[in-house]
Structure 1
């Protein structure tokens, strides 16, 4: 049974402006440790690739927060929600701490899709009750 659906479109130029204004602190606010390591590695090779990575993660976390109906309020935080890629390349959500506890207590499962194109990153998230 569908618990919630969330979608988000993110203007990559806005993410670029935030990075220029706040530097790495912006990425550290949005990304978990594992995501930060990937972002730094991708940015070191090609800054645009790192920027797109950050934008897709930002968008995915926004879509997830909408699908679970919490928005960005506790227990939902940027760093409690991690976007990973499965060995197949499929994106997935990994939760941490109180958010993981809340999600498990609700008996939920998440399905995620992310994409980016030129100036935009978009995500679609379906959360189902199992």
Structure 2
């Protein structure tokens, strides 16, 4: 685990500004939860402004919270948005004409176009399957 003097949000903003100054393309991902769903339209407007004048924001992926894993399952009651809110906020954001692609990603574990990798002990896992190196 890495420790910083700044909040996670401040670190991300610093990194985005560094990448923007270097005119590097970025793709952002947000897991939509009960705690952030009310601020997503403001975040969308910030990203629209961030994307000017160089258009370095390639895409924004909006992931539905899935109550699995170390943090997801025990905190599902706190993090899971009410039924229908994920769909509603995704529709609103997609209608905002932000100037970059916005993707609705309902299930990060079974995506046809995006893969996720992480370690579980000594095993490398891809999506929901252990990686077969043979």
After TM superposition, the score normalised by the length of structure 2 is 0.25
Give 1 or 2: higher strand fraction.
Answer: 1
Give 1 or 2: higher helix fraction.
Answer: 1
Larger Rg: 2
After TM superposition, the score normalised by the length of structure 1 is 0.26
